[in-house]
Structure 1
Amino acid sequence: MPKIVDREEMQNGILDAAMQVYAQKGYHAATIADIAEAAGLGKGTLYLYFRNKDAIAGAMVDRYFKSIETRLTEAEAPTTLADFADTLSNAMNVQTEQARFIRVFFEIFGPSFASDVFSAKVAAFFDSLGAFYTNQIRQLQVAGEIRAEADADDLGRAFASIVDGMILHKGLFSMSDARHSRLQKQTIEILIRGLRP
């Protein structure tokens, strides 16, 4: 009887192995054989799950953005400004493995930002994140927690940009957890001060 394999679990294992290989060798120097070896698979087996290195890279990006989206949207909607501050802080608190992906992301996809299709895909994620924050801001404005005259749409996108910037700093500059935590705290304090009615 053939062994039943969980396709999603196998793909995730391959993506984890690819991340390790890309972090060690760089995307362009890494080969499918390197990834298969790191995943404990034969090349032929790996090709059952991904047709090439580009498909692996695309799946890595999709998984990365999906993990951020899931982490943010699974949290309870904030009911106070303090809750909203915690939401922002948690969004900025990127795990070390995710932070390692940032450099790989730019190595792989840096030139792709010239592509309208790729840029639109990334922009759609940040549009969605901005809309998520806009919705929370509007609810907090109704509750009297945030200044009513603040433009919720602009603030939502600004917060998406700030969260992105904090994550990029952690990943691109190999920032220590302690330094990143201090920057998070200072950023949140400034933002909250400006939002109070």
Structure 2
Amino acid sequence: MLGPDFTHERAALSEGYLRIAGVDEVGRGPLAGPVTAAAVILDPGNIPEGLNDSKKLSAARRAILCEAIHASAEVSVAHASVAEIDQLNILRAAHLAMERAIAALDPPPDLVLIDGNLIPRGLTLPARAIVRGDAVSVSIAAASIVAKIRRDQIMWDLAQQFPGYGWERNAGYPSKSHREALLNLGVTPHHRRSFKPVHNILYQENN
């Protein structure tokens, strides 16, 4: 199967949109850490080769492409905290991170291409939701790479402060070792208390 291309961006350019941002988020599924979003406006004349959904790339390839994206495109990254995830729910928090990443682009984009089937409700700019966008749009694929790299860095840093959970390897996702560490070491301030595995442990501790 072919990777993402510039078809959606080219169509938007033909409609008169000049600054087209691809937006994606990383970190809906983990039990710990923030949700991270990136917004990327590629230079149509200087698109890094090999852009793809970050999940389909090796860590080494992601790092190389992330550097190339930062060197050739406009990039912004934003987050929603664990507290915001627990307060709002993960979908709304992911959209909040997206809204913040888009708002950080200056000047703002003319059109936003969002990965998924929903447009964040706080977004006032023209936007299009693209299901599996990171697999079909190079702009969204670029955003997925940047967001993944940045969030992995955050989780690696947190792993140094809270060793034993394997966050440097699992990025907070509910791997077997992470779930076992939750039982053995307990819940940290960076765990999402609204997520069932964490909530259940806290419930058992308090009863």
Question: What is the TM-score with the length of structure 1 in the denominator?
Answer: 0.32
- Compare the two structures and name the one with the higher strand fraction: 2
Larger Rg: 1
- Compare the two structures and name the one with the higher helix fraction: 1
